[in-house]
């Protein structure tokens, strides 16, 4: 994606999307994770690899 898309005030939309993708679990991914565990025993996720959780939620097998 070489084209630069900006908001009216000059924010680089693609840069924001890139940073969001690198920021860890999304709100909906956290909700899905909590729904799967019932919200109990969530301390095990306090140091979890976000990419591993995302792939598990979205049904993708990742290779390290």
Q: Sign of torsion, CA 21 59 37 46?
A: negative
> What is the phi-psi region of residue 6: left when phi exceeds 0, alpha when psi lies from -120 to 50, beta otherwise?
beta
Q: Give the tokens for residue 13.
A: 């939309």
CB 29 within 8 A of CB 53: yes
- CA atoms of 58 and 21, how far apart (whole Å): 14
- Chain segment 6-48, per-residue pLDDT in tens: 999 999 999 998 888 888 888 888 888 777 776 666 666 666 7
pLDDT of residue 1: 44
Residue 13: the pLDDT is 93
Task: Check pLDDT > 50 for residue 52.
Answer: yes
Residue ranges covered by each domain of the chain: 10-38+47-64
Any alpha helices (H) in the chain, and if so which ranges? 13-21, 27-37, 50-57
């Amino acid at each position: 994606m070489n084209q630069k898309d900006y908001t009216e005030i000059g924010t680089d939309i693609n840069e924001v999307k890139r940073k969001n993708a690198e920021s860890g679990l999304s709100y909906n991914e956290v909700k899905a994770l909590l729904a799967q565990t019932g919200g109990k025993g969530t301390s095990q996720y306090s140091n979890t690899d976000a990419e591993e959780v995302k792939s598990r939620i979205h049904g993708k097998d990742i290779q390290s």
